A and B are shown apart, each in its own frame.
Chain A
Amino acid sequence: MSGATWLSYSLQDFVMFGPEVFLRLFARINQDLWPWLLLWPLAGLVLPWFGRQAAELPRRLAMALAGLAWIGCGYLFLVRYYGPVNWPATRFGWAFVVQGLFLLILKGRALPGPMAWPVAVSWWLAVLLLPWLSVLEMPDLWAIALFGLAPGVTVAATVLLFAGQPSPLRWLLLMLPLVWSLFSAATYWALGTFWLMGFPVATLVLLVVALRFNPSPAQNPGSQSVHRGPGRQSP
């Protein structure tokens, strides 16, 4: 295709579905999985508690829960629900599943230390506040974007974990969240669903928070911040 032809395309030309179809995906998946869907946000809420423990086993569990969340939203939301209306979503979905499996394989070994307080609090804020963005956009309570099902919330929260990993693993894990954020921001812009822009924006903000408060030991050998906080004092 010539350069002139490419220039004649706008962002809108690449979006093949309408905003109503997209927003109803949240409501449909929630209605279809009710009441079992409550397990996902519950897992999201307890995860930082596990992540803050000094013992390795709970921290392994935290990583495993994050892995399950990625598999859940990759396969259920992206492949099963979003994929039929948007080709790239299926590919993203399988990539999410692979990333989730990778997290399961990593288990707790890669979580270098207990989660810092600001990171844990940011996590809770993300899991509790971000879900309402899709309700604001729809508006319908069923459209709530739950951790472990909705990619926006899942990605935004879990970058907090990924940013705490030593390089190069950190960047390997952050690659898909960043590409997803770019892709979803472009989609929300084209759809005109501006509340949903909160997901990619929150992802970037949380990434900065995580890098500030949870620097990887490999990059900051002298840093104490990973080991700060009460979690460090638990047995």
Chain B
Amino acid sequence: MLELSRRRFLIGVGLSGLAVASPRLMAAGSSAGEQTFHSRPIPSTGESVPAIGMGTWITFNVGGDQYLIDERTRVLETFLERNGTVIDCSPMYGSAADVIGAGLDKLGAHDRIFAATKIWTSDGSETREQAATSERRWGIDRFDLLQVHNLLAWQEHLVTLKEMKAEGRVRYLGITTSHGRRHRELARIMETEPLDFVQLTYNVLDREAEERLLPLARERGIAVIVNRPFQGGSLFRRFQSEPLPSWAPEAGVGNWAEFFLKFIISHPAVTCAIPATTRVEHMQENMGAMYGQLPDTSQRRMMADYVRQL
């Protein structure tokens, strides 16, 4: 079995006991001297993960461009400095896995992350091979989480992933979708399969998941990773020029990034959101959402109403 890093140990043991129903109370302290940040327990084990992770679609696919690899490494460094651990990738994301690997190497940070990638192949017999290739590219011994990407050949992959989990080759398994696609099918899988995680799209505008998937995840004890928290960036393009509502500070919101992210992570079913960025300043803003007060139920409603009327 892999040794837990000190950070993971502190977060896991220290915070799992603090998992309570109200998101406001789920803010928990990390090691001494650091600011308090929001983390969430993974229902199947109680281990906690920080409520903001990092996506890598497009942003980390920079090929062999050393200048951009160094820039992305600085983004990764900022993420880790701000207590981020969950990193999400996929074999579909071109060179992103290699760029993560190069960054982790440079920062010596392989044991400070919660490594999540996907299985993305229609060949149901390639699960292990693809996981091994991803491990090599990241430079890690095993993934914390392997997810079937976009339900592709999910029946076959899940069989193998369950075996791998039993063998200790992966710690958690899950399945992903995005853009609100195939929710009905995903719900059926969540009802019948022993999933640790689901990954889906949820943000202040795309709220279909609230109807069935998020309540179902709570009911079935499945952790939820939220992708496209900024709708691929279009939330900023649409709303960034608008003023924040006057009541934003009361909801713990200081900028639009916090507005969008705190709306998501304050949903009681959400475990973590995984915004992607190419820029250090944006990473700093995004990680800011992990700190301070979170909106309550009525403030969340006001947030959704506010963007709708803009």
Contacts and interface: CB of A to CB of B under 8 A. Distances in A.
Interface in B144-185: 179-182
Contact of B57 (A9, A16, A21, A86): A16
Interface in A1-55: 5, 8-9, 12-13, 15-18, 20-21, 24-25, 28
A85 interface: yes
Contact of B179 (A8, A18, A84, A87): A8
B65 interface: yes
Interface of A is mostly: helix
Given A16-B93, A17-B58, A85-B95, A8 B65 contact: no
A18 to B, nearest CB: 6
Contact of A84 (B57, B59, B92, B94): B94
B59 A18 contact: yes
Nearest to A4: B181
A18 B95 contact: no
A12 B232 contact: yes
Interface residues of chain B: helix, strand, loop or mixed (majority): loop
Interface in B202-261: 232
A16 B58 contact: yes
A81 interface: yes
Contact of B68 (A20, A81, A86): A20
A24 B61 contact: no
Contacts of A16: 57-58, 61, 92-94
B33 interface: no
A31 to B, nearest CB: 10
A5 B95 contact: no
Contacts of A18: 58-59, 278
Nearest to A24: B65
B17 interface: no
Interface string B278-301: 100000000000000000000000
A78 to B, nearest CB: 12
Given A24-B65, A84-B63, A17 B180 contact: no
Nearest to B62: A21
B61 to A, nearest CB: 5
Interface of A: 5, 8-9, 12-13, 15-18, 20-21, 24-25, 28, 81, 84-87
List 7 tightest A-B contacts by C-beta distance, closest first. A84-B63, A85-B63, A84-B95, A17-B61, A85-B94, A21-B62, A85-B61
Given A5-B182, A24-B65, 20 more contacts: A12-B232, A16-B58, A16-B93, A16-B94, A17-B61, A17-B94, A18-B58, A18-B278, A21-B63, A21-B65, A21-B68, A28-B65, A81-B64, A84-B64, A85-B61, A85-B62, A85-B63, A85-B94, A85-B95, A86-B94
12 contacts: A12-B232, A17-B58, A17-B61, A17-B94, A18-B59, A18-B278, A20-B278, A21-B61, A24-B68, A28-B65, A85-B61, A86-B94
